[in-house]
């Protein structure tokens, strides 16, 4: 398992339909994720450019794919993000396995981004 996996949680997200002056749902999610037990670091961040699908979070691993998730709920997402981080950290190919992934991380994926040094399999000699 890669200890370098980091969970980024947007603190500035609003939930669709929230009043402009309402407390930020993203801040509550970041607080809940930080308080959730787990081996992976939670790093609050301002905006992941998934604002229309907030609250949003990303799971990032050096040498692996990065995943952005949206429309996360405060009740189940913090634990699911730790589970997703464990799956990503333990993968051999740098991809988060579909099997065993919490449902919220299946349904609410916004984007996946290849690692910096990504080379398509057909391009390798």
Chain residues binding ligand FES by CB under 6 A are: 10, 12-13, 26, 47-51, 54, 56
- Token pair of 89, please? 């950290």
Provide, rounded to whole angstroms, the least separation between the CB of residue 8 and ligand FES: 10
Provide, rounded to whole angstroms, the least separation between the CB of residue 71 and ligand FES: 11
Smaller CB separation from ligand FES, 42 or 86: 42
Distance CA 66, CA 68 (A): 7
Which residue has tokens 């990032």? 60
Smaller CB separation from ligand FES, 14 or 86: 14
Smaller CB separation from ligand FES, 22 or 47: 47
User: DSSP label at 77?
Assistant: H
Distance CA 48, CA 50 (A): 5
Provide, rounded to whole angstroms, the least separation between the CB of residue 47 and ligand FES: 4
Smaller CB separation from ligand FES, 27 or 95: 27
Q: Is the dihedral of CA 78, 83, 88, 89 positive or negative?
A: positive
In 3-state terms the chain splits into helix, strand, coil percentages (rounded to 5) of 30, 20, 55
Provide, rounded to whole angstroms, the least separation between the CB of residue 123 and ligand FES: 33
């Amino acid at each position: 398992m890669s200890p370098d996996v980091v969970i980024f949680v947007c603190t500035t997200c609003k939930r669709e339909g929230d009043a402009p002056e309402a407390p930020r749902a993203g801040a509550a999610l970041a607080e809940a994720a930080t308080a959730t037990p787990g081996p992976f670091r939670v790093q609050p961040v301002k905006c992941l450019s998934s604002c229309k699908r907030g609250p949003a979070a990303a799971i990032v691993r050096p040498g692996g794919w990065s995943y952005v998730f949206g429309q996360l709920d405060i009740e189940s997402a913090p634990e699911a993000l730790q589970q997703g981080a464990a799956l990503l950290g333990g993968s051999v190919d740098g991809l988060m396995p579909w099997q065993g992934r919490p449902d919220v991380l299946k349904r609410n994926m916004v984007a996946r981004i290849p690692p910096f040094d990504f080379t398509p399999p057909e391009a390798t000699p």
